[in-house]
Amino acid sequence: MWEEFKKFALKGNVLDLAVGVIIGGAFGKIVTSLVSDIIMPIFGLFMGGVDFSELSYPAGEEGIKYGSFIQSIVDFFIIAFSIFLFIRLINRFKRKEEKVEEQKEEIKADVKEELLVEIRDLLKKQTEGK
């Protein structure tokens, strides 16, 4: 069981996923800081000095903190857009690699066809010579 677990844990995909989760967590913290410390204060200035982190609707002692919710929505959209751009970039590279592979396969197919044509011609000459 231990050997099977080591094979699973040391597969490339699992390690890549672990690295992605760690980097994603760090990226999320950066985006959260960007939104709460830079974007929302600037946006609040344009809205007449509103501090979104303090916006709440009074309901009991705590209240409903809809300002924090708005910040979380902005966080989400920035992260989602960043992931979209990253995946788009990766797909562009994959398409280029696929085109190169297709071109290589076409070249191999052309060489095979030429060889088959030569073999056919040689066989015709041999049967005509008899």
Asked if the structure places residue 124 within a domain, the reply is no
- The pLDDT profile of the chain, 130 residues, written as one tens digit per residue, is 888 877 776 676 777 777 788 888 888 888 888 888 888 888 888 888 887 778 888 887 778 888 888 888 888 888 888 888 888 888 888 888 878 787 777 777 677 788 888 888 888 888 886 6
In a domain, 20, yes or no: yes
**In terms of residue numbers, what domain contains 34?**
2-93
Q: Where residue 63 sits, what CATH number does that domain have?
A: 1.10.1200.120
Using a cut of 0.85, tell me whether the model's pTM lies above it. Answer: no
Structure-block tokens of residue 49:
């000095």
Domain count, the chain: 1
43 falls within a domain: yes
Alpha-carbon span 38 to 16, nearest angstrom: 32
Is residue 118 one of the residues assigned to a domain? no
Distance in angstroms (rounded) separating the CA atoms of residues 82 and 34: 13
